[in-house]
Chains A and B, each alone.
Chain A
C-alpha cells in the first residue's frame, strides 16, 4: 500500500487507513458471547485468571513498566517478572508510545517481553488475549508476518478456552493468511472447522468471498473485496495483492485485443489512484507498450497494447511461483 499523500485522494483512502489504526485499540468492542463467565478448573486456585494451575508457577514482583525481551534459558527470577496489574499499566504505556513514536523494533521487543511474563506466570486470561490481539494488529500493519503468525497461533488456542476476544475478526485474518500461504489442505481443513455463527459474521464472510474470488480467478471481485476489506484484512491481502495483480494482468493481456484502457486497469485492479497504477505498470516493465490517444476534450486516454505487453507480464509472473514465509512459525 503506497503512502504517497496525494491531496486530491486524501479523503477516502486516508480515512480508511486512520480507521484501521484506531481499531487496533478498540478492545472494549469484544464480539464473543462467553458461554461461561469463568474458565472451568478442577483444583482451587488463588488467581482466578490462571488455567493449568501448577505448583511451580511463578508470581512476579517487578514494578518496572518497560523491559527488554531476553530469550529464557532457565526459570526466571520473580523479581524480574511483572504481575498482571503492572502489565496492564505497561500495555497502556505501549499503546501511547506506539501512537506517538511508531518505533516498531522497540514496540515489538516490548510486546514480546510482556507476552513472556504472561507465559511464565501461566496467565491465560482476557488480558492475555488483548495483548496478543494488539501485537498481532501492529505486526500486520508493519507487514511482519512471522510475528503476526506467532500471535495468531496463540490466539487460536486462547479462544478455545472460551475467553472473550475478537474471535470473528481474527478468524477472518486466519483465512486470509492461509490464502497467502496457499496450502490447499490447510484451507480445506480450516473451512471445514468453521461454525455456522462464524460463517455469518461479516468479516469472515468477506474472507470467504476472497477465497472464492481467488479460487475462480475472479480479479474483478477480488479487488472490490480488497478495497472494502474490514478491520485490518487489507494488510493481509497486501501480501498477495501484488501477485494477483500480475496474474490478472496476464489474463487481461491474453483476452483483450487490440488494447485496453489504463483507466480500466486502474479501477479493476484496485489501485488508489493513477500514480499507483502507473507505478505498477512501470514495475512490471510494460511502459513501452503504453500509448496515448488525445481524444476530444481535456481528458487524455492512455491505452496498453495487450499483445506487446504479454511477454513482460509473463516474465513478471515468474517470481511468484513459491511462497516465502518470513520469520518464525
Chain B
C-alpha cells in the first residue's frame, strides 16, 4: 500500500514539474523492468477497488487533476493484469486501451508537448498488446489491432498534427508524427486494408513538416511503407524511389562478420530488398548475384532474371509456379505482379532475339512468333491473334518501336532504337 502511495506521489510530482524523463520511467510499459516488477508484487495483493481508492485519495490530497488520477489508476490496473500468466490477452489489451484513453485526456492539453515521448511508448505498447491479443484469437470478428488504429492512434495523430505551438520539432507534439504514422501503417498492412492510406498521406503532407527532419529509422520505416503502398497501386517508379532510399539507408550488412549483423536490421533490410528487387525487375533493372546471395534471395529471383533475359516464357511460369517458391511469392504478394509484368518483358526479349537472328532486318514474321510461342508455353491453342495482341501491347507500352501490318502479318520495327532499353521505358500507371 505504501509503495503505491509513494508511486502516486512521484508521478504527480513529475507531472507538475513536466519532467519528461521521470514520467517515462514511472509509467513504464516494459514488463521486464525492475519498477514494473516491484509494482506488480505490491499490486498482486490489492483488489481493484483498493487500488482505485488509494490512488483517488492520494490524488485528492496532492491536488492532482482528474485525468491524471484516471491515468494512474488505469495504468496500475493494466500493469498487474499484464504480469499475470492467467490473464486473457484480450482483456489486458482492453485495460491498456482504457489507459490510453485516459492518457489522451491529458495529452490534448495545449501545453502537453513534454508528454510526447510517453505518447510514443504507450502507442507502441498498445499495438504490441493488440497484436498479441489477435494471435490468441485470430478469427475474432473485430481484430484488436484495427481497434487500436481506428480508435486510438487516429485520435493521437489528430492531436499531434494540430499542435501549432512551435516550429522547432523537439518542442512540438509533431515530433511523434511519423512514429505514429508508421505504427498506423503497420496496422493497416497487417489487416490488409490500405484504403485509408491516401488520406493519411495527404494529412501528413499538410502538417508542415519534412521527413528529413526526423530520425533515420523513422524515415526508412516510412519510406518502406510508402514503397509497399505504391507497389499495390502498380506505380513502379514511386515504389522504386522510396524503397531504394530505404535500402540505401539501412545499416550495412556483412554476412561474413557475425558481429556486425544484427538480426532485426538484417531482416528489415531483406524485407525492403525483396520488394525493391521485385519492382526493379519489372522495370528491367537486375540485381547482382552477390546482392541476392548476401540476402539469401538467390533461390527466388535468379531464375526469373535468366528467364527474362532469354525471353523464356516456359521457364518463367515453371519457376513461379514451382511448389518450392510459389507459396513464398504469394505470401509476399508479388506473385501476380511478377507473373504479369515479367511475361511482357519476356516477350520483348523473345521478339528482339528473333529480330537479331534475322540479322536485324526490320521485318519480323509474326507467324514465326506463333510457332516459337507454342513451343515455349506448350499451348497448341496459341495463335496469330494472341501474338498480334501481345505485339500491339508491347508497341503501345513503348517496349518496341514500329508497327504491325495486319494483312502481311509482319511486325516492322523502326530503324533506330527499335527495342529501347527496358529501364528507359515510361511505365504507365495501371489505374489512372
Binding site for B on A (CB under 8 A): 182-186, 188-189, 191-192, 212, 215-221, 250-252, 254-261, 264, 268, 321
Interface residues of B in 2-42 (CB under 8 A from A): none
Nearest 9 CB-CB pairs, A to B?
Answer: A255-B392, A220-B389, A257-B403, A255-B395, A251-B396, A185-B194, A216-B340, A189-B192, A251-B392
Docked CA distance A217–B397 (Å): 10
Contact with A along B393-406 (1 / 0, CB 8 A): 10111000001111
Contacts of A216 in B (CB 8 A): 340, 343-344, 393
- B232 CB within 8 Å of chain A: yes
Interface residues of B in 396-432 (CB under 8 A from A): 396-397, 403-406, 430-432
Contacts of B406 in A (CB 8 A): 256, 259-261, 264
* Pairwise interchain contact A192-B385, C-beta atoms closer than 8 A: no
What are 20 A-B contacts defined by CB distance under 8 Å?
A: A182-B431, A184-B431, A185-B194, A188-B192, A189-B193, A215-B340, A219-B389, A220-B385, A220-B388, A221-B386, A251-B396, A254-B396, A255-B396, A256-B392, A256-B404, A256-B405, A257-B404, A257-B405, A268-B389, A321-B432
Q: Which residue of B lies closest to A182 (CB)?
A: B431
Number of A-B contacts (CB under 8 A): 76
Docked CA distance A188–B189 (Å): 12
* Pairwise interchain contact A218-B403, C-beta atoms closer than 8 A: no
* Pairwise interchain contact A255-B344, C-beta atoms closer than 8 A: no
Docked CA distance A257–B234 (Å): 30
Contacts of B195 in A (CB 8 A): 183, 185-186
- B367 CB within 8 Å of chain A: no
Classify the interface of chain A: helix, strand, loop or mixed: helix
- B128 CB within 8 Å of chain A: no
- B361 CB within 8 Å of chain A: no
Residue in contact with B385 in the complex, picked from A250, A257, A268, CB distance below 8 Å:
A268
Q: Which residue of A lies closest to B405 (CB)?
A: A257
> Nearest-CB distance from A38 to chain B (Å)?
21
Contacts of B395 in A (CB 8 A): 251, 254-255
Contacts of B430 in A (CB 8 A): 184, 215
- B390 CB within 8 Å of chain A: yes
Contacts of B393 in A (CB 8 A): 216-218, 251
* Pairwise interchain contact A212-B340, C-beta atoms closer than 8 A: yes
- B110 CB within 8 Å of chain A: no
> Nearest-CB distance from B383 to chain A (Å)?
9
Docked CA distance A162–B330 (Å): 27
